[in-house]
Amino acid sequence: MHPNDPRLRSFVEVGSSSHFPIQNLPYGVFSTPATPARRIGVAIGDFVLDLSVLEQERLLHPAPSPSIFSQTTINDFMSLGPHTWSEVRMRISELLRHDCGELRDNEKLRARALLPRDSVTLHLPLEVKGFTDFYSSKEHATNVGTMFRDKDNPLLPNWLHIPIGYNGRASTVVVSGTPIRRPLGQIKPPTSHDPVFGPCRRMDFELEMGVVVGQPSTMGEMLSEVEADALIFGFTLLNDWSARDIQQWEYVPLGPFQAKAFATSISPWIVTREALEPFRVQGPAQDPTPLPYLRQRGLNNYDINLDVALRSAEMRTAERISRTNFKYMYWSSIQQLVHHASSGCSLSVGDLMGSGTISGPEKHQRGSLLELSWGGAEPLELGSVPRTFLEDGDSVTITGYCQGDGYRVGFGEVEGTITRALGDSTSLAGGQ
């Protein structure tokens, strides 16, 4: 059976609402108190399958290469290419099947290789070589353009012709659960003639998906649609935190800089492109027709349900504030990669591409507080406390999954909690 077959069952018990059935098998990096060395595993139900143990026992054939799963990131494994990715996933699926006894019937091996997920520490799964963030949701761009530019012409003239993006900072990509310090920066209050330096006052999240590049491209060469697709190892949840007031002052003429450089959070699990194949869908109609190099024939969007929940420091449980879907993206991940390489820019194993904020056509489908509160004019009621932007102690959790026939292929979650800015804010005002 193909690893995506909905009839597959694992000997590991997996509920129908679990994000990690046998049809998924996402990759992550973990450690345990007993063995603090980081290594690579896949999620299955409520467990992590330690691939380094299977590798030591020579159960992974064809063997990718010596100790590939004892590495601290998945980069070396990704570099082996799509054929190896597929073969290894097929073998892992076989070992986890309900009717395969190699692992199921070996009690000692199971104890070493199958670890309760709540007993492990999850780490950043890849070494991020470069980070590019795009701006590819038409609904999001329209909302932002309506608020800040021209409600009758919210999109800039180039937006419908080109996937807009900017190069961000790979050094501040962090794994889910990492606290996010409120950034400092220059801010120009509307009532002030001069800027001040201090903590961000309009802190926001951005609901995104991240594309993980698993194969390099050649400098000076372009990519076709098929070639770009083959470069993608998988996808992860991504929150590209945003300091809206810092960005408003700095972004003209060169775009976001410090307003985005301070932190980007990703989920600890990378769901493979192959696992998402059953959930590919047609994207929105593109009018005007893109230039020839950006035209696509395939189903290059994905039907991924996405939720955002927010919890203040005073709340016991989080409250959902947004529900949308990745399928709404105007520019697909494939088009983003094709355009990225179109100038001759080379892509590297471990590059991360942010989709851009994902918003849908309805108000509850907006992917940022900037949109949900309409620039602060329409506060959200979070419990008994209104919210326009994030306060210290607020925690944002993004989850996502594809719904199959009796199973889900999910991404887990990406969570981050806002902590107080460095230093005393009163002493930082006015550049003191």
Q: What is the pLDDT of residues 199-247, one digit of tens each?
A: 999 999 999 999 999 999 999 999 999 999 999 999 999 999 999 999 9
Q: Please give the single-letter amino acid code of residue 164.
A: I
Q: What angle do CA 48, 53, 55 make, to 5 degrees?
A: 115
| pLDDT above 90 (res 430) | no
For residues 121-125, average pLDDT:
98
Say what the pLDDT of residue 423 is.
Answer: 85
Q: How many C-beta atoms lie closer than 10 Å to residue 430's C-beta?
A: 11
Report yes or no: 133 and 354 within 8 Å, Cβ to Cβ.
yes
The H or E element containing residue 147 is helix 138-148
- Report which residue type is found at 284: P
What is the homologous superfamily of the domain 27-123 according to CATH? Fumarylacetoacetase, N-terminal domain (2.30.30.230)
Q: Is 27-123's fold the same as 131-431's?
A: no
Worst-scoring range by mean pLDDT, 12-26, 52-66, 107-121?
Answer: 52-66
- What pLDDT score was predicted for residue 150? 86
> pTM of this prediction?
0.96
Q: Is pLDDT at 153 greater than 70 in this prediction? A: yes
Give SS3 for 103: helix
pLDDT at 200: 97
Report the residue count for the chain: 432
38-58: average pLDDT: 97
Partners of 307 in beta bridges: 323, 399
Question: Tokens at residue 32, please?
Answer: 């345990």
Task: Judge whether residue 64 has pLDDT over 80.
Answer: no
- Region 121-134: mean pLDDT is 98
Query: DSSP letters of 354-421?
Result: E------SSGGG--SHHHHTTTTTS-EEETTEEESSPPTT-EEEEEEEEE-SS-EEEEEEEEEEEEPP
Q: What backbone phi and psi angles, to 5 degrees, belong to 258?
A: -65, -25
Number of neighbouring beta carbons within 10 Å of residue 207: 29
When pLDDT is averaged across residues 86-103 and rounded to a whole number, the result is: 97
Give the other-Cβ count within 10 Å of 325's Cβ: 18
Q: Structural domain boundaries of the chain? A: 27-123, 131-431
Residues 382 and 321: beta-carbon distance below 8 Å: yes
Helix-, strand-, coil-residue percentages of the chain, each rounded to 5: 25, 25, 50
Q: What was the pLDDT predicted at 428?
A: 40
The yes-or-no verdict on residue 362 having pLDDT over 70 is: yes
At 149, is the pLDDT very low, low, confident or very high (cuts 50, 70, 90)? confident
Q: How far is CA 224 from the centre of its chain?
A: 24
Q: List the catalytic residues.
A: 140
* Structure confidence by residue, pLDDT tens digits, 378-429: 999 887 788 999 999 999 999 999 999 999 999 999 999 999 999 854 434 4
pLDDT number for residue 385: 81
Given 3.40.30.10, 3.30.1330.10, 3.90.850.10, 3.30.230.10, which CATH number is that of 131-431? 3.90.850.10
Q: Is the dihedral of CA 51, 57, 59, 62 positive or negative?
A: positive
Q: Is the pLDDT of residue 69 over 60?
A: yes
